[in-house]
């Protein structure tokens, strides 16, 4: 019987199944899990997946049409148990269908902000029109607002204007008006002035995180996250950009997928907080430059080609009803500004959240991801760069690497007699290694001199954990009998090289920025390490492999998802929104590829630091 290959994202796991198998069957065969209450009979509608190519499966069945909306079907949603596979295919199991939950870093260092959002509500009792006072509805409303706010000139959303006469009369002239800046974006009956919410979103390449906040007091009332559903069209940014370059239809699909993702977490957040999404009047979104372009449906082709030019730097505000976000219909989304082609709105938000741009102290900010953004400087001057650190720290390109989900080894210690201790997410039998574990493994092998400063396995190590297979040396972290799959989990020579490339990229970024600013390691007052990976990092091990400069631990802070925090600050405060613009304008971007020292620095950085003195910059 002919077989087809099914690739599951975000794991990247592949499995071969007989043609015409259901996706549900393939999931089980791949050793993955999916929610299901009916066991695959099409009754519960829980086993939702996203498929990449509708040509590779059967047509959407009537059963599925009962569980999926037309727009979901257009985005590629199917029920796993109803979908039979006809060709090789890529399938994504979205967050909502998962049993194993990924550790998504959804929060970060929070700074206090004075709550003063662009959105305001005013409760007004208007005089009823008479023949003596028959001012038009808009002017009656605008004059009442101006009287309260002492500000003239108001705009009104066109949809709100169209309904204004009916709303005012149905409400008996007792209304609550929502303003965004000088624009009337909503008019509601009665006093709803305490129901005013906003949503701050970080669109990551692999995950989307949203914070629902009360705009009257600044409190975060719900946090939700989801895998970025765009993953079905490529786990990494370049694959997605290539997909978007093929056609505007593809670009539009990527945009709709991310909007769909935002809508899902927004609706979950509203539900868990017990509020109505019509009372969400503002979104602030951040993301790297590619996510920024996808979200705004701007062709990202020129981001990917030299000289890597983005379409727009400054903040962009779009009407939610126009782009399909299910919030209040007069509300907008503001996408924070970017700095350069590879330093996006998420990095601007990192700066905003850490406030390094306002400090006298010299700060180094590193947001580690597939692309790592680095900032160095203080309030007088700051420069930044971006380095292609690759997916190794997220478990990518690593033989037994995996994302930080249940079953991933997240911490490793190797003793001088080469014995290995590890901890697994969810305390279950291990399935693979997540980024922090790979970093631990490399650091521990260095400490125990299993590898040398070139990252090469030494010759004279006496342990059966180290052996050669298919001409490649490998070190066993977990024996087959210990693991969930019954197979060994190892670190290979190539895995070590991947870590070297990744840490060298980041190291080179730091060292070139320091050179350009003439700052020595000892002069750095604060180091902020942001990003999901940074939250689980073993700092000592990071220094041992030379990922971060050798700076005393008390100067270093792991700050988590500062991108969403920065977005939230801009959502809560007009002043912070303005600061984001200043950050975007003032911070100088250094194109590493242009730097004459780049090649040499990078070559040097590939080496692991000598253990005694640790890494020296």
- By the criterion CB under 8 A, which residues form the site for its own copies? 129-139, 156, 158, 161-162, 164-166, 169, 296-299, 301-302, 306-314, 316, 318, 322, 338, 340-341, 591, 593-594
Nearer to its own copies, 134 or 459 (CB): 134
Min dist. Cβ of residue 276 to its own copies (A): 23
Nearer to its own copies, 306 or 380 (CB): 306
Nearer to its own copies, 22 or 288 (CB): 288
Query: Shortest approach of its own copies to residue 371 CB, angstroms?
Result: 16
Q: Identify the sign of the CA torsion 532, 538, 543, 547.
A: negative
User: Least distance from C-beta 287 to its own copies, angstroms?
Assistant: 15
Closer to its own copies at the Cβ: 117 or 310?
310
Least distance to its own copies, CB of residue 386, Å = 12
Exposed, middle or buried, 34 (CB in 10 Å: 0-12/13-18/19+)? buried
What's the rounded Cα separation, in Å, for the pair 188 and 186? 6
Minimal distance, residue 299 CB to its own copies, in Å: 5
Q: Write out the two tokens for 338.
A: 């970017």
Smallest gap from residue 127 Cβ to its own copies (A): 12
Nearest distance from C-beta of residue 514 to its own copies, angstroms: 22
- C-alpha–C-alpha distance, residues 178 and 119, integer Å: 7
Judged by beta carbon, residue 31 or residue 129, the one nearer its own copies is: 129
Tokens describing residue 273: 């907080």
Measure the CA–CA gap between 235 and 126, rounded to whole angstroms. Answer: 54
What's the min distance (Å) between Cβ of 323 and its own copies?
A: 9
Exposure letters 453-464 (e unless 16+ CB within 10 A, then b): eebebeeebeee
CA separation (Å) from 90 to 53, 76, 441, 610?
Answer: 8, 11, 31, 44
Nearest to 416 by CA among 455, 461, 478: 461
Instruction: Give the tokens for residue 208.
Output: 């989307």
State whether the Cα torsion 169-172-173-174 is positive or negative.
Answer: negative
- Tally DSSP H helices, then E strands, for the chain: 18, 27
Task: Please identify, using beta-carbon distances, which residue of 168 and 404 lies nearer to its own copies.
Answer: 168
**Residue 52 CB, nearest approach to its own copies (Å):** 24
Report the residue number, 151 or 301, with the smaller CB distance to its own copies.
301
Residue 165 or 486 with smaller CB distance to its own copies: 165
Q: What is the DSSP string of 4-46?
A: EEEEEETTTEEEEEETT-BHHHHHHHTT-----SSSSSSSS--
Closest separation in Å from C-beta 325 to its own copies: 14
The nearer residue to its own copies, 135 or 449, going by C-beta atoms, is: 135
> Based on CB atoms, which residue is closest to its own copies, 297 or 346?
297
Residue that has been written with the tokens 């590879």 in this structure: 342
Q: Is the peptide bond before 497 cis (omega within 30 degrees of 0)?
A: no
d(CA 523, CA 128) in angstroms, rounded, equals 67
Task: Kindly state the smallest distance separating residue 3's Cβ from its own copies, in Å.
Answer: 42
Q: Taking Cα atoms as reference points, which of 287, 500, 476, 289 lies closest to residue 393?
A: 500
Name the helix (H) or strand (E) containing 65: helix 62-67
> Beta-carbon neighbour count of residue 603 at 10 Å?
11
Max Cα distance, the chain (Å): 101
Q: Which is nearer to its own copies, 234 or 341 (CB)?
A: 341
Q: How far apart are CA 68 and CA 431, in angstroms?
A: 32
Find the shortest distance in angstroms from Cβ 594 to its own copies: 5
Which of 304/461 has CB closer to its own copies?
A: 304
| Coarse DSSP helix, strand, coil percentages of the chain, rounded to the nearest 5 percent | 35, 25, 40
Q: Closest approach of Cβ 118 to its own copies, in Å? A: 16
Distance CA 602, CA 591 (A): 14
Tell me the C-alpha distance between 453 and 471, whole Å: 21
Name the residue nearer to its own copies (CB basis): 310 or 430. Answer: 310
Q: How far apart are CA 25 and CA 150, in angstroms?
A: 65
Comparing CB distances to its own copies, the nearer of 460 and 594 is 594
- Count the neighbouring beta carbons within 10 Å of the beta carbon of residue 518: 7
156/141 Cα distance (integer angstroms) = 11
Q: Shortest distance, CB of residue 300 to its own copies, whole angstroms?
A: 9
Q: Is 485 exposed, middle or buried (0-12, 13-18, 19+ CB in 10 A)?
A: middle
Cβ(82)–Cβ(27) below 8 Å: no
Nearer to its own copies, 320 or 354 (CB): 320
CB of 340 to its own copies, least distance (A): 7
Phi first, then psi, for residue 562 (nearest 5°) are -75, -15
Spatial contact of 529 and 537, defined as CB atoms under 8 Å apart: yes
């Amino acid at each position: 019987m002919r077989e087809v290959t099914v690739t599951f994202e975000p794991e990247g796991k592949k499995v071969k199944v007989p043609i015409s198998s259901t996706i549900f069957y393939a999931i089980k065969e791949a050793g993955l899990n999916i929610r299901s209450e009916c066991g695959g009979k099409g009754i519960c509608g829980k086993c939702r997946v996203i498929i990449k190519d509708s040509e590779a499966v059967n047509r959407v069945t009537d059963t599925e049409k009962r569980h999926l909306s037309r727009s979901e079907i257009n985005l590629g949603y199917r029920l796993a148990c109803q979908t039979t596979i006809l060709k090789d295919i890529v399938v994504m199991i979205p967050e909502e269908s998962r049993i194993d939950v990924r550790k998504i870093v959804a929060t970060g260092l929070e700074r206090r902000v004075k709550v003063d959002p662009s959105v305001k509500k005013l409760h007004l009792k208007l005089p009823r029109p008479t023949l003596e006072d028959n001012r038009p509805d808009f002017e009656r409303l605008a004059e009442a607002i101006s009287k309260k706010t002492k500000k003239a000139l108001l705009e009104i959303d066109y949809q709100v204007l169209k309904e204004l006469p009916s709303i005012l009369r149905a409400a008996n002239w007792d209304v609550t008006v929502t303003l965004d800046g000088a624009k009337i974006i909503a008019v509601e009956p009665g006093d709803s002035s305490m129901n005013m919410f906003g949503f701050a979103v970080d669109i990551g390449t692999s995950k989307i995180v949203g914070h629902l906040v009360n705009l009257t007091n600044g409190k975060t009332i719900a946090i939700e996250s989801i895998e970025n559903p765009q993953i079905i069209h490529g786990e990494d940014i370049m694959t997605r950009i290539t997909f978007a370059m093929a056609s505007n239809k593809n670009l539009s699909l990527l945009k709709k997928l991310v909007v769909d993702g935002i809508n899902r977490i927004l609706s979950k957040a509203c539900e868990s907080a017990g509020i109505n999404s019509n009372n969400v009047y503002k979104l602030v979104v951040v993301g790297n430059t590619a996510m920024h372009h996808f979200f705004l449906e701007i062709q990202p082709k020129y981001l990917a080609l030299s000289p890597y030019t983005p379409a727009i730097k400054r903040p962009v505000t779009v009407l939610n009803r126009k782009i399909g976000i299910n919030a209040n219909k007069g509300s907008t989304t503001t996408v924070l500004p970017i700095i350069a082609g590879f330093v996006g709105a998420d990095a601007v938000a990192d700066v905003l959240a850490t406030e390094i741009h306002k400090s006298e102290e010299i700060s180094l900010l590193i947001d580690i991801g597939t692309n790592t953004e680095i900032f160095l400087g203080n309030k007088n001057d700051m420069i930044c760069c971006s380095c292609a650190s690759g997916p190794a720290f997220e478990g990518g390109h690593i033989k037994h690497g995996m994302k930080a989900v249940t079953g991933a080894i997240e911490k490793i210690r190797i003793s001088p007699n080469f014995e290995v201790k590890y901890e697994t997410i969810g305390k279950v039998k291990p399935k693979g290694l997540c980024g922090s574990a790979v970093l631990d493994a490399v650091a521990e092998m260095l400490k125990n001199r299993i590898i040398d400063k070139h990252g090469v396995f030494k010759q004279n190590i006496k342990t059966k954990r180290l052996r050669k297979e298919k001409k490649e040396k490998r070190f066993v972290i977990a024996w087959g009998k210990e693991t969930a799959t019954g197979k060994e989990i190892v670190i290979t020579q190539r895995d070590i090289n991947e870590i070297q490339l990744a840490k060298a990229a980041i190291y080179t970024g730091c060292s070139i920025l320091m050179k350009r600013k003439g700052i020595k390691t000892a002069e750095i007052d604060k180091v902020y390490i942001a990003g999901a990976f940074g939250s689980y990092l073993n700092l000592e091990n990071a220094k041992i492999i030379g990922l971060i400069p050798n700076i005393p631990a008390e100067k270093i802070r792991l700050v988590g998802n500062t991108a969403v925090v920065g977005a939230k600050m801009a959502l809560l405060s007009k002043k912070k929104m303005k600061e984001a613009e200043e950050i975007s304008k003032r911070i100088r971007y250094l194109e590493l590829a242009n730097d004459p020292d780049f090649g040499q620095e990078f070559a040097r950085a590939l080496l692991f630091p000598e253990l005694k003195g640790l890494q020296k910059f």
